[in-house]
Structures are given as structure tokens and as C-alpha cells.
A and B are shown apart, each in its own frame.
Chain A
Amino acid sequence: MPSIIAALLNSLDIAMLLFVIAVGLNIIFGVLNIINFAHGGLYMLGAYFTYTLVGRLGLPFWPALLLAPLAVAAIAAVLERLVLYRVYGRHVTDSLLLTFALLLIIDEGVRMIWGSGIHVVRPPELLQGRVNFAGVSYPLYSAFVITSGVVLLAALWALFNRTRIGRVVRAAAIDRDMAQTIGINVPAVVTGVFAFGAWIAAIGGVVAAPMRAIDPGMGDKIIIESFIVVVIGGLGSFPGALLGALVLGLIHGFGGRYLPQINLVLPYIGMALVLLWRPHGLLGRRAAA
């Protein structure tokens, strides 16, 4: 029994991290109609900036949690303004190609600046140590990850459903032309949404930094997992991202413990099964055509 609870708790912190990345992908897809292949790279930049701020410059963790995501959001805004906007209105494959190019650039850029080795960031003192939960000893930091995931979930829900900004973004997502005619500055919304998605991804990166090894492959790993989350949950669905993240978190938490021989392949098997059963994901809406 304790081992099941441990696996469950372990699943939850993975799930929260995946949710944070997948929800950013979904928000960007909703408005820009593209899948951002560089999204994992932005997450990775969040982690590396944290390493530089905390590990090198000796800053405490909390200011890094504020600064690193802002820096990544600024980079993302510049990329959208200088690069992505050029292919709006072209065939969708062009924007996929461009974000894929950004993925290559960020990956290799990280290797150039920080090297190929593994870096480590220690959790803030406040969050070191372990807590007991239902008879299981659990790292305090993981509890923090789960809590911040839930806070972010609630904040995003409130933002999109309860504020004017949320309504403007949803209007732009539904019909850009219509949004333009009712006086919404659509290009600004698009830039803002892309930067916002990057900001969320970078928060994920900062939060992940003390519990995961920081290496140049971390971006690829998370983006592929987030794709699986998005496919399982349904592309563009906010609750779908949560459900998909939980499913994949459980696959990881339990698969790693009980089926270690095939744990790497399990997520794909899960995805394939969902595709066979419901091609548009568990909570995805079927397209008209």
C-alpha cells in the first residue's frame, strides 16, 4: 500500500509539470493555430536561466522564479515578432517547419553556452527535506510542485473565464477577422499569447530545475511527452491537457515502478490506444470535416 501511494504521489508531480507544458502548447495552438515544436526549448531555457541565476550568480531561488520566465517570455515575443509572423497565412506546414527550426537553434544554442554536461540546482532551503504523507516519506519539494501546479491551474482557469483579457484572447482564437473588426488588436494578442505560453513553459522549467537534471536533452524529452499529453487529452482542450497529463503521469509513476522493462514505451502504447479508440483525444472535439 505505501508503495502505491508513493507511486501515486510521484505520478502527480510529473503530471503537474506535463500539464504546465501542455497547457501552454494548447493556448498557443488555440490562437496561432500552430504547434510550437520549440516549446520544450523554452521550458529548457527557463531551467538553464535558473541554473545561471542560482548556481552561478548565487541568487536565491525565488527571484529566479520571477526573472527567468520573464526573460524567456521576452525572447519568445521577439521570436514571434521577427520570425513566426512571416509565415502567418501560409500553409500550416511552414509554421511547423519554423518552430522546428527554432527547436534546433535553441537546443544547439544551449549546448554552445552551457555545454553538454549535466547541471544541478539545489531546492531553496525552505523546501528541502521530506514530509510524511499517509505513511509515506515524500520530498517537500515535490509537494511544492504539485501545489504550484494546482495554483497555476486555478489561475489560468480564472484568467480565461473571469477576466476581460481572457475573453479577448478567446475571441481572437475563435475568429481573428471578427476580433479585428470589433477593435481587438489581433497582432498584439498573438504576440502576447505566444509570450504568455513561453512564460508558463519557463515557469515549468524553473520549477523543474531543482528536481531534474538540467541537460540539453531535457527540452526534447518534455516536448515529446507533452505531445502525447495533448494527443491523449485532445488538441486545444484545456481540461484535456489536465486529463492527459494525469494519465501520462500515472503511466510514468506506475510504469517505472511495476514495468521497468518497457517503461519507456508505455506512454506511446497509451497514446496509440487512445488514437484507436478516440482519434481526437479523450476530450477533443471532432472537426467538422
Chain B
Amino acid sequence: MNRNASAPSASVAAGAAARPSGWRLAVPLSLVLLLAVLAALPSFAPYFYIFVVTEILIMGLFAASFNLIFGYTGMLSFGHAAFFGMGAYTTAMLLLHVELPLVWALLASMATAALLALVIGFLSVRLSEVYFAMLTLAFGMMVYAVAHQWRSLTNGSDGITGFLLRDFGLGLDLQLADPAVYYRVVLAVVAIAAAVLYLITRSSFGLMLRAISENPERVAFCGIDVRRHRLAAFVIAGLFAGLAGALFAPFNRVASPDMLHWSQSAEPVLMTILGGAGYFLGPFFGAAMFVLLETWITSYTEHWMLFLGIALALLVMFFRRGVLGTLLDRMLRR
């Protein structure tokens, strides 16, 4: 099997040196501008759009965490919803039973999701990519089965509802029940998390991941324990997926087994492929397109999944670099 052939690698994004120098400033500047517009959004946009953008931000973080293992490390997980759901359940339960401030619930969710990722990852990263895809799907569905069957803890298929958002914690006086306030909290948390994820992709560790995605064996011969790196990437990805899920539960007002189902795991896959796995912002871009398309298409038909499947197949066959990736490639080539 030729591992070198067109790996779904994120490493092209790292070719910063190959970029025209004008781009070095253009990207951060437009990001700052984008963040400013997003922060100001509640002052001019109706609530409907605030809800839509909140969802885009959360799903973007979910997809970006997935891309750390997919685009950067070269492993395709079909069970990423397990960590998203784990985060959602942890936050929902803590808010319901312990009435914890939100920030502590978020941190606890990251911890539980990372722990779950450690267990599932330990069993899944040891073998080939094919095994990894099967095992992540299967273990993801195991978590789904547990959520269904452990009724005394998870309330079965109804999920956990009725929890309230009280304060944020850290002495901040925030009216979290107000969607505009919650939106700004989500924006801040997602921005920080994305920055941390970005730093990780640019670190030596990130370089190892990109090298592993292209040729794990060569990396091992450089003296690097590939399995430990894959596991570490998997745990970090699980941790951030847990954070996304933790932000999603109060937004959705419920943590239910649906969030753990494999079809939920399909979403970050689609968002990443849609946006482009080769760029750090690809998954966020893909999440935006995904949520907007979903909102638009589900107003016409309930068979949104059919559309997703066809879109995924076409993207993989013809536009492997995603929409953002294809656009940027065109622009940079000029």
C-alpha cells in the first residue's frame, strides 16, 4: 500500500514560506476584522442569526478538533461524537445536579471527554487506518448504547433536560440566559480554544503529527513513538470536542443520545471535507456552510442526510481539498 499517495495532509497549510508576503498580514488582519464583526453581531442582527452563528461557532470547534486527528495526523475517526456527547452530558448533569458555574462545568467536560478519548484511543490507535475507522465507529456507538441503557444516570432516550444556566463563574456577572450574552461567551471560548489548537498545530508536536500523517514508518525510524503521538492527538481532539459539546448542551437545552449517534459523528467529517482539511480554518468555514445549508435545505425537505451523502461523495471524488482549500489554492497559484 502506498502511504505516500495523496495523503489527506494538512501540511500544505504549513508552507507559510511559500506564501506571498502580502498574505502574512492579510490573514491576521481579516481574522481580527471578522472577530470584531462577530462580537458586534448582537447589536444589529436579529436573534435568529445569533442562534445560527452560535451553532456555527460550536460546530466549527467540533470540526476543528476532529481535523487535528484527520487532516493533521491522517486518521479518519467516525466516532468523534462520543466526545462531543460526553462533554454535553457532563455539563448538563453538573448544571442540573450540582448547579456549578458554567466555566467549571466546561473544564470538567473537557476532562471527562479527554479521559474517554484516552480509553477509546488506547484501543484504537494501535492498528492501521482501516481498523481505526471501524473501531472509532464501534466504540462511538458503544457510548451511544451506554447512554441509552444506563437510564438511572442518563435518563435513557429522553436525555437530560431542565438544567438552568446560572452564573459563568470567575466573578463575572453575565446574564447567560440572554442568547446574545451566551453567544458572546461562546465566541470568546471558541476563539481561545481555536487559538490554542492553532498553536498546537504549529508546534513541534504539530510537525510530528503532519509527518506521521504522511509516513508514520519514517517517523518511527527517526526515533519517535508514533503510537503515543497518535494517542496524544486523539486525546487533545477529544478534549476540544468535549468543550464543543459542553457549549452545545446549554444552547440546545438538552443532552440526548442523538448527540452520540454515528450520524452526529458524520457532521465534523462533512464539515471538514466541505471546508478543506488542508487549512486550519477549513473546518470552521465548512461548519458555516454546513449549518447554513442545513437551515436552508431542511426548510424544503426532511431528507437532508441524502443531500449530505451526495455532497460528501462528490467532494471526495472531485474536490478533495474542500471549498476553502480549492479557492485558496486557485488564488495562491496566481
Contact = CB atoms under 8 A, between A and B. Distances in A.
Q: Do A and B bind each other?
A: yes
Contact of A89 (B2, B76, B308, B313): B2
A271 B142 CA distance: 11
Interface stretch (A8-16, A120-128, A142-150, A258-266): A258-266
B76 A96 contact: yes
Contact of B316 (A101, A220, A224, A276): A101
A37 B306 CA distance: 16
Interface stretch (B38-46, B122-130, B163-171, B282-290): B122-130
A80 interface: no
A101 B142 contact: no
A57 interface: no
Interface in A255-289: 261-262, 264-265, 268, 271-272, 275-276, 279-280, 287, 289
B133 A109 contact: no
A228 B123 CA distance: 13
Given A224-B138, A235-B130, A103 B309 contact: yes
Interface string B127-151: 1111101110111011001101100
Q: Which size bracket describes the interface of B in this complex?
A: 35 or more
Interface residues of A, number: 48
Contacts of A104: 263, 266, 305-306, 308-309, 312
B18 interface: no
Interface stretch (A28-36, A45-53, A61-69, A164-172): A28-36
A80 to B, nearest CB: 13
Interface string A232-255: 000100000000000000000000
A220 B144 CA distance: 13
B230 interface: no
Contacts of A141: none
**From A83, A92, A264, residue with most partner B Cβ within 10 Å:** A92
B154 to A, nearest CB: 13
Given A220-B262, A264-B148, 15 more contacts: A33-B130, A35-B130, A35-B133, A37-B133, A83-B313, A91-B74, A93-B76, A96-B129, A96-B133, A97-B316, A100-B266, A104-B305, A107-B309, A231-B138, A272-B123
27 contacts: A33-B1, A35-B130, A35-B134, A83-B313, A83-B317, A89-B5, A90-B5, A91-B3, A91-B7, A91-B74, A92-B130, A93-B8, A93-B133, A96-B76, A97-B312, A102-B309, A102-B313, A104-B312, A108-B306, A231-B134, A235-B131, A264-B145, A264-B148, A271-B138, A272-B139, A275-B123, A276-B123
